[in-house]
Structure 1
Amino acid sequence: MASDGRNQPPWIPPQARPDAQLPRLTIYNSLTRNKDDFVPVDPTGKMVTWYSCGPTVYEDAHLGHAKNYVSIDIIRRIMMDYFGFRVKFVMNTTDIDDKIILRGRQQYLLARFKQEHAAEDESVSDSVLAAAKAAFRHYIGKNLPFLPSDTSPETFSDAMDKAKAEPPLLPDPATTKQVQAVTVADLLLRAHIGTAQSAFEALQTPGKLPEFFARTDDILLPYLDALHGAEMDFNNHKITLELTQKFERRFFEDMNALNVLAPDELTRVTEFVPQIVSFVEKIVANGFGYAAPDGSVYFDIDSFEKAGHIYARLEPWNKNDRALQADGEGSLFKGRSMKRSENHFALWKASKPGEPAWPSPWGRGRPGWHIECSAMASEVIGKTIDIHSGGVDLRFPHHDNEIAQSEAYWSTPGCQVQWTNYFIYMGQLRIRGLKMSKSLKNYTTIRTVLSQKEWSARSLRICFLLMPWQDSIEVTDELMKSVVGWEGKLNNFFLKSLDLWKHLSPQTTTTQELGIFDQPLSRALDKAKADVDTALCDSFNTSIVMRILSDLVTESNSAEVLPAPTVILIAKWITRIVTIFGLDPEGDLTNLDRIGWSGLDIPTSAKPYIYPASQLRDKVRASACSGSVDYTAIAKLASGITIAASLPVVESSKPYDQVLQQFCTNVKAFAAQQAPAKDLLALCDQLRDVHLWNLGIYLEDRNDSQPALVRPLDKLLIETRAERESAGTAKAKTRLEQKAREAERQKEQRERAKVDPLLMFRTSDEYLQWDESGVPTVDAAGNAVPKNRRKKLVKEWEKQKKVHEEWLATQQET
């Protein structure tokens, strides 16, 4: 891999041993911005090293994190379970950086403040109010520059009204055009206004202490830190570790809930500080870093490029973007730089008062953000990494700086090292075109999402699988509908396949008799396998694979006669693919005969009651549809099931037992009354559509005298019913509106019928003279009414005469 430093190619393709058996896999490589053949560093082509940038653990993970880590997990699983690579997956958690220092310090100071001002009666004291008012003024001055600098809680409302009266402060989200114009700055401003408004309302009506703090925490945090942050002693690092350990644990709980595989090795920055110091020392010794007078150490990009290296290989167009460079240095590092050039970046930061610190040759300090991953990945994996991954927003400056640091560390004169061969980036989850971000407060945590009915771990993963992993996702109603439709389609197919398998003749040998049963469908399966392989080899194109699976299910469902052996083979193969994709936390790739995924069966506690209820319902329906109801037979069946189910009932089974008992009672009562067949069918529908539906169970009626398919509810069933009911409600509303209009029309006709034809034209200003019947002869201008016009008026008069006489007749009868 040696090359002349000044003629170094932008990417050095790795070479495999000639006898290595590699798949024809290509990966979209952000280092080249092309799809490159994947060749691991391992000469045998079996082992793959992968370093993934992990979370900064100071808050709960949100849906944007889910998009990143689930997408990474999908690719990792494909590489291991489809292509057969042995993947060494290393991930870090950043447990010390500017955000963590600030958050840990602020939370500690706020907790101390609350403890010092606790009151037994939970009242808000004058001292707390005074502090909150000072915090309010501090927050306004820092975050709402459009308000006067002396704005206080007393003048806030008037100041905001005046600001809103000026040209629009923020784009109005009421129109699509303006929504598209909303920027990060707009969202930040909205968040700050919301925080100030909440605090203002709390100061107006303080209430009890817990509620008061809940509405003022966000202004107290920065205020208390500004007052006392520099006084903190962080030498024991306890305050930040308590914060990061809590949220690291919660992060991996979230990942487990999303069925994301745990890393093979987890690195934490605070556990690698000595290695990071040594890493920085070598960069300085190699001539690519320097210590500033304040004890910080910076990377010298100028010297790096003069030595023949290329800087900003991932995003060269952002090389001189000062805003991105400043953001990469951290909020606590702004305005205190002693570096030689604006584009240089920190390797080691001298700690200010109130910031955690570790010993180093340059004085007490802490690692720069970018150096962490370079040092940890190099320590754990070595000189060259196969794959480095992360969110797309890490490309510059974070990963571009990582590349520069690592090449500066590993390369020697005349022999430059390519530290990572393949950089892959997951697209962001976006809201109105903007990435999901904690600072913008436009995010929803993973925990919140999974606690609601709209999304599950599986549906989230399906959502990400439906789109190319490197693309950003805008979650829309259309996308959610696609997710529900795809999942529901697979649910239906798996359920029917399992039912076919259950009733398959034991003498059938599926693999031997496949061709006999359905050759076209078997050819469709072979084609799908080939197409899936092509798609996965094409940079893990799961969006195409998802369409292939859906189309294969459609083709299976459209067969005139459902060929059980072929369908079962298809179901087993689709099960394997969705298990590889991580769509089933209970998936077992060693079980080649498994069909479907978890969640296809009703609860175990329901089975002893629901299956007998369904079987009785089948018999009742069949009898009701036969044209001659056998009341004695269905009553006997209902009595027999009641006796069979009269064993002790555990608590979790009681709702199902109650439904069974009630249905049996109703069937016997209807049989005793010899109720009409339509009433029996309505009773069966009520069991399906009300009682079992409310328990999360559905009975899917089928043709050809097949028993109903017992299954749990899924979102497709629920949404389909909701749409059907909505359509029914709309139709009922339309009928009511039509009925109301018809009633109004009839009322108008009745009122018109009361008018005497002799007088009907005399009340109009259009005419001056009428004949003896009341038909106009001269108009208001004094002209004789034209013959054609008079004919029309006569017809109207005759029609009115008829309806009036009919009305008079009804009046006489009354």
Structure 2
Amino acid sequence: MATAARTQPPWKEPQASSPPKLKVWNSLTRSKNDFVPVDPEGKVVKWYSCGPTVYDDAHLGHARNYVTIDILRRILSQYFGYDIQFVQNVTDVDDKIILRGRQQHLFAKFKAENPTISEDVLNTTINAFDAYVSKNLPLLQNVNIGTFNEESAKAYANVIQGKSVDGVGPPGDKEAKIRMHLRTASTAVTSLLAPSKSTPEDVEVFYAGAEDVLLPYLDALYGHSIDASDHSVFTTLTQKYEARFTQDMRNLNVLDPDVITRVTSYGDEIVTFVQKIMDNGFAYKTSDGSVYFDIEAFEQAGHHYARLEPWNRGDKNLQADGEGALATQKTSEKRSDSDFVLWKASKPGEPAWRSPWGPGRPGWHIECSVMASDVLKSQMDIHSGGIDLCFPHHDNELAQSEAFWAQKDGGHQWVNYFLHMGHLSISGSKMSKSLKNFTTIREALARGDWNARSLRIIFLLGGWHDGIEISPDLRKSGSSFESFVTNFFLKIRDLEVNPNIGSTGKEDEKVQKAFESAKEKVHSALADSFDTPTAMRAISSLITDYNTADKAGLSDAVSFDIARYVTRMVRIFGLDGSADPYNGGIGWSGIDIPSVSKEFVYAVSRERDEVRKHAIAGDLSGSVLESIIAQHKPAQQQDIDALPYAEVLSTFQDSLKSLASKQASTKEYLNLCDQLRDTHLWDLGIYLEDREGAPAMVRPVDAELQAARDHKEAIVRQKAEAKLKREREETEKNAKLAEQAKIDPKDMFRTEEYSAWDEEGLPTKDRDGAEVAKGRAKKLKKEWEKQKKLFEEHAKGAASS
């Protein structure tokens, strides 16, 4: 039977009733396969995505996974037209959650019972510190708190300098963990050595600094005392972070799942699922009340195990990650080291559900199998998640689910396509909660490091199943793409205000041909396993072709068609919030000035254009000026939101009249126009971009414009500061020279350095009575003559004044 298992095809290609629309990279086959939905009509796509484990805030590594999945989901539904049933779980019970929830519960209780920092609190914290260092920093055994920073700097000098522990190989996750532990211990030391611990603020600061060493210590002392039936100890934590995760995803413009499943709502279903696997002969119970999956029985029945990453099936470290706390629990009843747990017997301090095998809780992998099978039944099209979930999580999911759905006539294909998203890394290390080397999504958005669009562009520029490392070049590429598309949309929007009436249409055929070619390239790229980098390049090339075309020969209709297409594609990619890709709109958010401002801003822009044109031509007469102003008369009453913009128009007109009354110069009119652009409108978040031979383009002040202005102002400021420094140095130099000029040359060398002088005051002997050497005397004579000249000029100046 084992031989049959090895020769059986591991993946059965779904049969299509019509030509497939696309190919996808399938982790099951490690190749691109035609995408064929299970739905007989080929319309509905059933998709299960592994969701968050909610015990902490989501970081940018999570954003990489969920934003990228959202991109693929949007392309499938909004571009290829599939009706997607998207299910995502929330893992609200597992080893990490149990540990974190229990620790937070005990820590909160400890703080409540100790509102002041007593001697007992200090001793407990010192013991916690010692235990933490002993476990996590083995080179610092029995270290003294007062000398911790000095001793840790010596013991872990290589790690602190960015090297490996031994200073030979490159640093990795091991070194990242050591750096984390050093920070944690050092922070606790700072709290313990703080001079003041008496005020409520001091107490809060103390606990904040000592928290990470107290958490594991308090749990080791009291964790077993937690009531297993009181699930609120854990759900208090998970409900908080699930809500924060949901908000983070919405802030990143990630679509909500159609269905959300939570592990804690599936206790009975998980028990039933495990029992069915046992009934099918693929699981066994141990005497402690746990249930394990029997890999040997599964394979002997003709199934395949570890289909995603067969090369990792013997990796004990990965197996340990999957088993959690059970990995360190030795039992002679486990039939094979590779067998994995389906149901864990609960230990003291852990939540428990009733089962035929005794109080327990679900294993990590069984959760997704049960929830996905409950909603999507016996077969789904797509299963997605981060690439680190391939083994053991998804491989174990596959095995136990196919064991559950096993048929008498052989195997059962539970998932047709596995899609795994690549990692996001910083300095070569994967972002990880356990390593604490991450920036949370909300921190990144709050600081302005990223926004929903800029982060998504970065992911679109990289392959979805490839790793991405954030680098200055990558950020620059993303920023350039966003600015490039923004400027394109601004040009098209400007056509709506200033249409190209005199177009000859001679460029239409050429540009239309480039347009059709670009659409084909985008379609081919997306149909080739969602190749967004190639699609993005095709869109950029289309915009370049448009920008380089002779606009005098291009009709507005072609321009608008291209703009609507680009708008549709960037909206499909999720780059414009919830905007409908198919509503015929043009542009994305951030290119519009406020609606209430348009009447007045476009009016003052037109007047400014006319004033500049006539001023430069030298024919800005009073009558011309009156005709310009007469075109726009602000109403006497305005909505309060429109008032600032109406005032800009009226103030500009009043200033023009004032300049006319005093017969101002051309320069004064042009200065007024610059002031309107650079100050009055800029301060309202609006910029007028002057163009040769065309009206000024009205656009909002965005980050790119602000950065350019800040850079320009910085250069002006640096030049001014440099000039001021030169002037100050020159003044100091002149003042010093003036003081020097007051000294009589006969007195300038009468110092302790010499012991004899001639009648002119020149030294003849040094301090020891020796004759001054001829060379030295010659040099002193030159200095004396220079001083004599200064002194005489000073005397003349003083006499004349």
Q: Does 1:588 align with 2:580?
A: yes
Alpha-carbon RMSD:
3.9
Distance 1:514 1:443, change over 3 A: farther
- Give, in whole Å, the separation in 2 of the partners of 1:745 and 1:696: 46
Shift of 1:426: 0.9
Shift of 1:21: 4.7
Q: Is the 8 A contact 1:59 1:247 kept in 2?
A: yes
Q: Which amino acid aligns with 1:487?
A: E
Q: Which amino acid aligns with 2:20?
A: L
Within-5 A mapping of 1:537-686? 537-562=527-552, 563=554, 564-591=556-583, 593-607=584-598, 609-630=600-621, 634=625, 644=634, 646-647=636-637, 650=640, 652=641, 656=645, 663=652, 666-686=655-675
Q: Is the 8 A contact 2:160 2:179 kept in 1?
A: no
Given candidates 521, 534, 543, the residue that maps to 1:531 is 521
Q: Is the 8 A contact 2:457 2:478 kept in 1?
A: yes
Cα shift readout 1:406-427 (whole Å, capped 9, x = no counterpart): 2222224541112211111111
Q: Is the 8 A contact 1:320 1:343 kept in 2?
A: yes
Cα shift readout 1:623-678 (whole Å, capped 9, x = no counterpart): 4323244467658977997x72652552x556556655655555454444444332
Which residue of structure 1 aligns with residue 310 of structure 2?
Answer: 316
Within-5 A mapping of 1:57-76? 57-76=54-73
Which residue of structure 2 aligns with residue 132 of structure 1?
Answer: 125
Within-5 A mapping of 1:514-529? 518-529=508-519
Distance 1:691 1:104, change over 3 A: farther
Cα shift readout 1:380-403 (whole Å, capped 9, x = no counterpart): 212222111101111111111111
Cα shift readout 1:229-255 (whole Å, capped 9, x = no counterpart): 111113141222222222222222222
Cα shift readout 1:487-506 (whole Å, capped 9, x = no counterpart): 11111111211221344489
Cα shift readout 1:585-628 (whole Å, capped 9, x = no counterpart): 2422342x311122221123444554444344334433432324
Q: Give the TM-score normalised by structure 2.
A: 0.85
- Give, in whole Å, the separation in 2 of the partners of 1:263 and 1:180: 44
Given candidates 686, 707, 722, the residue that maps to 1:697 is 686
Which residue of structure 2 aligns with residue 790 of structure 1?
Answer: none
Shift of 1:270: 1.2
Q: Where does structure 2 lack aligned partners over 5 or more consecutive residues? A: 739-782
Given candidates 28, 44, 52, the residue that maps to 1:31 is 28
Which residue of structure 1 aligns with residue 41 of structure 2?
Answer: 44
Q: Does 1:720 align with 2:704?
A: no
Which residue of structure 2 aligns with residue 795 of structure 1?
Answer: none
- Give, in whole Å, the separation in 2 of the partners of 1:380 and 1:535: 32
- Give, in whole Å, the separation in 1 of the partners of 2:571 and 2:36: 25
Q: Which amino acid aligns with 1:618?
A: D
Structure 2 residue matching 1:267: 3-state secondary structure: strand
Cα shift readout 1:685-716 (whole Å, capped 9, x = no counterpart): 2332334334332211222242x222112233
Cα shift readout 1:27-46 (whole Å, capped 9, x = no counterpart): 11111111111122222222
Q: Which amino acid aligns with 2:136?
A: N
Q: Is the 8 A contact 2:6 2:304 kept in 1?
A: no
Which residue of structure 2 aligns with residue 417 of structure 1?
Answer: 412
- Give, in whole Å, the separation in 2 of the partners of 1:113 and 1:659: 61
Given candidates 212, 219, 226, the residue that maps to 1:218 is 212
Q: Is the 8 A contact 1:105 1:229 kept in 2?
A: yes
Q: Is the 8 A contact 1:16 1:42 kept in 2?
A: no
Shift of 1:302: 2.5
Distance 1:363 1:520, change over 3 A: same
Q: Is the 8 A contact 2:302 2:411 kept in 1?
A: no
- Give, in whole Å, the separation in 1 of the partners of 2:355 and 2:486: 59
Which residue of structure 1 aligns with residue 16 of structure 2?
Answer: 16
- Give, in whole Å, the separation in 2 of the partners of 1:731 and 1:33: 59
Q: Does 1:481 align with 2:481?
A: no
Q: Which amino acid aligns with 1:68?
A: N
Q: Which amino acid aligns with 1:644?
A: P
Given candidates 114, 119, 141, the residue that maps to 1:148 is 141
Q: Is the 8 A contact 1:98 1:332 kept in 2?
A: no
Q: Is the 8 A contact 1:5 1:307 kept in 2?
A: yes
Distance 1:313 1:579, change over 3 A: same
Which residue of structure 1 aligns with residue 777 of structure 2?
Answer: none
Q: Give the TM-score normalised by structure 1.
A: 0.84
Distance 1:116 1:660, change over 3 A: farther
Given candidates 319, 344, 348, the residue that maps to 2:339 is 344
Structure 2 residue matching 1:347: 3-state secondary structure: strand
Which residue of structure 2 aligns with residue 195 of structure 1?
Answer: 184
- Give, in whole Å, the separation in 2 of the partners of 1:515 and 1:463: 37
Shift of 1:160: 3.3
Q: Does 1:430 align with 2:425?
A: yes
Distance 1:661 1:438, change over 3 A: farther
Q: How many residues align?
A: 756
Q: Is the 8 A contact 1:299 1:344 kept in 2?
A: yes
Q: Which moved more, 1:582-591 or 1:387-396?
A: 582-591
Q: Which amino acid aligns with 1:225?
A: D
Q: Does 1:245 align with 2:239?
A: yes
Which residue of structure 2 aligns with residue 77 of structure 1?
Answer: 74
Given candidates 133, 148, 157, the residue that maps to 1:168 is 157
Within-5 A mapping of 1:385-464? 385-464=380-459
Q: Where does structure 1 lack aligned partners over 5 or more consecutive residues? A: 751-799
Distance 1:147 1:166, change over 3 A: closer
Q: Which amino acid aligns with 2:134?
A: G
Q: Is the 8 A contact 1:433 1:474 kept in 2?
A: yes
Structure 1 residue matching 2:250: 3-state secondary structure: helix
Structure 2 residue matching 1:644: 3-state secondary structure: coil
Cα shift readout 1:78-134 (whole Å, capped 9, x = no counterpart): 11111111211111111111111112112222222223334xxxx544444343333
Q: Is the 8 A contact 2:94 2:364 kept in 1?
A: yes
